[in-house]
Structure 1
Amino acid sequence: MTQRAPALLSFTNAGLTRGTTLVFDGLTLHLNERRIGLIGDNGAGKSSLFRLACGLDAPQTGSVTVQGEEAFRINTRKPNCVGMMFQNPDDQIIFPTVEEELALGLTATGTPRRDAIGQARSFLDTRGLQDWADRSVNSLSQGQRQHVCWLAILLSSPSLVLLDEPFASLDLPSQALLHEDMARVPQPIIVSTHLLEHLHDFDRVVWLDKGRVRADGRPAAVCAAYRADVRQRIADRTATVS
């Protein structure tokens, strides 16, 4: 009998408590699709799910695995296996110039720094951004810094890409360009967003509600259910106030 390959990303009875707050209590979720959306209110657990997936946090109970490997060990065993773009680029960017920031992912896997810088410059050339190479990151707008984080992920070519509210600081043209870029990337991508229109062509959407999976399935159905729930909650609140 052929052994079934492990899911790309799996949460099995995963529990996480941060301080006195219970974030996840027995979360079980297996993700394999090429494009997955993650939706829900602020505080639903979306960013915490990503932190578990990329190894920044470890579950207190249960397990979280990436390609069968424990996620909290993944950065040591398989550098650049998971690429994550944080909601705030200032929480992610380390180096003072664009080319140095882009080169970071390459040096993490053993590429000599000089070669990594050269590859970063060549990559920027292919994107028509050659003038960005030696620019100070501090001279860029919030949206441009977010774009630098996206370019760093593309250059490092991780096996799995996690994007936490990637459209939040982008204007409409930049949102459209990022959406097109995401469609072309061969790796699986999981996107957390409040802008549900960007998920219409995805394979799957998961709705998190207070650390639990409220709905899971096709984008149109799950997003419609979430919108209806929000409308009902607002109507209930208005009725209570009145």
Structure 2
Amino acid sequence: MRGRGKAARLGITLDMTDVSLTREGCAILRGISVRADEARIGVVGRNGSGKSTLARVIAGLELPDEGRVRLGGTDMARDRRAAIRTVGILFQNPDHQIIFPTVDEEIAFGLRQLGRTVAEAAEGVRAILARFGKAHWAGAAIHPLSQGQKQLVCLMSILAMRPQLIVLDEPLSGLDIPTRMQLMRYLESAEAQLIHISHDPDVLRDYERVLWIADGRIAQDGAAAPVLAAFTAEMERLGGMDDIADLAG
């Protein structure tokens, strides 16, 4: 497939081995093992299934209690420098990700983390703003921007660093249809492996591979069409039940 070829050319292999994580006595991830080199991988599951925790573990932001996550043979949680160079993560709420008051500062921060000089980072900021047709955002304050515009700032910050892997933790939730479509076009053009976590099967229908996470485990793993069909059927079955004891948080 076209996406698999792209991943192979970039030399990307995500390798998760027996990954488990427990918080306050509650198992969040349970023995997850995945080896993936596809360029576009989707992850579906109900609220509370462990999807967001999985995203943070893949990005090296949380250390699993057991098991390892490697990208290109490097352990992301134990080599933070490599993780910064290799993985970018886009969260659902950009306000939880943005830490600087201006667009320039936000984009430059990641480049400085990579060891770029002030001048090199400034040039990187100019380049990514020009690439997205947002040169007029140079020096602009972030707080007046819309939610979609803030999400674009976060995306530009990530792409400026040229990561090999981008983890998307439901970043399109809450955005209107045109904004979602525009951001997805930007994402699909990225020369990086995408792991896209979503509760919406429609977003992932064209992906090469989909993982269905349930109760911290992989319920199904395979081509998008059959996995999403099984997931949708199960969600409809649960939604048709009168017993509300199974409501997700």
TM-score strictly above 0.5: yes
2:97 corresponds, among 92, 99, 104, to 92
Pairing 1:49-128 to 2, within 5 Å after superposition: 49-77=54-82, 79-128=84-133
**What is the CA-CA distance between 1:239 and the residue it aligns to?**
10
Matched, 1:164 2:169: yes
In structure 2, the partner of 1:3 is none
Instruction: Determine the C-alpha separation between the residues in 2 that align with 1:108 and 1:7.
Output: 22
1:130 corresponds, among 135, 140, 146, to 135
In structure 1, the partner of 2:50 is 45
Percent identical? 37
Pairing 1:196-215 to 2, within 5 Å after superposition: 196-215=201-220
Paired AA for residue 110 in structure 1: G
Instruction: Determine the C-alpha separation between the residues in 1 that align with 2:16 and 2:85.
Output: 20
Question: Tell me, which stretches of 5 or more residues in structure 2 are unaligned?
Answer: 1-10
Question: Tell me, which stretches of 5 or more residues in structure 1 are unaligned?
Answer: 1-5
Q: Give the SS at the match of 2:85.
A: coil
Pairing 1:15-30 to 2, within 5 Å after superposition: 15-30=20-35
1:148 corresponds, among 149, 153, 166, to 153
Greater mean alpha carbon deviation, residues 208-217 or residues 68-77: 68-77
Instruction: Determine the C-alpha separation between the residues in 1 that align with 2:127 and 2:77.
Output: 33
**What is the CA-CA distance between 1:195 and the residue it aligns to?**
2.5
Q: How many residues align?
A: 235
The answer (yes or no) to whether the contact 1:55–1:71 under 8 Å persists in 2 is: yes
Alpha-carbon distance change, 11 to 34 in structure 1, aligned in 2, over 3 angstroms: same
2:232 corresponds, among 227, 232, 241, to 227
Alpha-carbon distance change, 180 to 19 in structure 1, aligned in 2, over 3 angstroms: same
The answer (yes or no) to whether the contact 2:108–2:157 under 8 Å persists in 1 is: yes
**What is the CA-CA distance between 1:194 and the residue it aligns to?**
2.0
**What is the CA-CA distance between 1:66 and the residue it aligns to?**
1.8
- C-alpha distance after superposition, 1:57-85 (max 9, x if no partner): 11111222222111212322453211111
Instruction: Determine the C-alpha separation between the residues in 1 that align with 2:127 and 2:185.
Output: 21
The answer (yes or no) to whether the contact 2:12–2:193 under 8 Å persists in 1 is: no
Instruction: Determine the C-alpha separation between the residues in 2 that align with 1:157 and 1:239.
Output: 45
Instruction: Determine the C-alpha separation between the residues in 2 that align with 1:10 and 1:34.
Output: 14
Paired AA for residue 221 in structure 2: D
Instruction: Determine the C-alpha separation between the residues in 1 that align with 2:113 and 2:193.
Output: 21
Instruction: Determine the C-alpha separation between the residues in 1 that align with 2:137 and 2:190.
Output: 22
Paired AA for residue 152 in structure 2: H
Instruction: Determine the C-alpha separation between the residues in 2 that align with 1:134 and 1:33.
Output: 38
Q: Give the SS at the match of 1:178.
A: helix
Instruction: Determine the C-alpha separation between the residues in 2 that align with 1:76 and 1:61.
Output: 21
Q: Give the SS at the match of 2:16.
A: strand
Q: Give the alignment's Cα RMSD to 1 decimal.
A: 1.8
Q: Give the SS at the match of 1:73.
A: coil
Q: Give the SS at the match of 1:13.
A: strand
Instruction: Determine the C-alpha separation between the residues in 1 that align with 2:65 and 2:49.
Output: 18
Paired AA for residue 112 in structure 1: T
Instruction: Determine the C-alpha separation between the residues in 2 that align with 1:126 and 1:41.
Output: 36
Instruction: Determine the C-alpha separation between the residues in 2 that align with 1:157 and 1:183.
Output: 14
Matched, 1:12 2:25: no
Paired AA for residue 157 in structure 2: A
- C-alpha distance after superposition, 1:179-224 (max 9, x if no partner): 2222211211000112322212111011100101111111111111
Q: TM-score, normalised by structure 2?
A: 0.88
Runs of 4+ in 1 over 6 A off after TM superposition: none
In structure 2, the partner of 1:31 is 36
